[in-house]
Structure 1
Amino acid sequence: MTELRTVGLFVLTALAEITGCYLPYLWLREGKSIWLLIPGVLSLAAFVWLLTLHPTEAGRVYAAYGGVYITMAILWLWAINGIRPTSWDILGSAVALTGMAIIMFAPRQ
Structure 2
Amino acid sequence: MLDPGELVAPALLKIDVQGHEYEALEGAAGVLAGFEQVVVEVSFVELYEGQKLAGDVTALLHDAGFALAGVFNLRRARSGACLQADFLFERGGGGD
Give the TM-score normalised by structure 1.
0.29
The structure where strand makes up a greater share of residues is 2
The structure where helix makes up a greater share of residues is 1
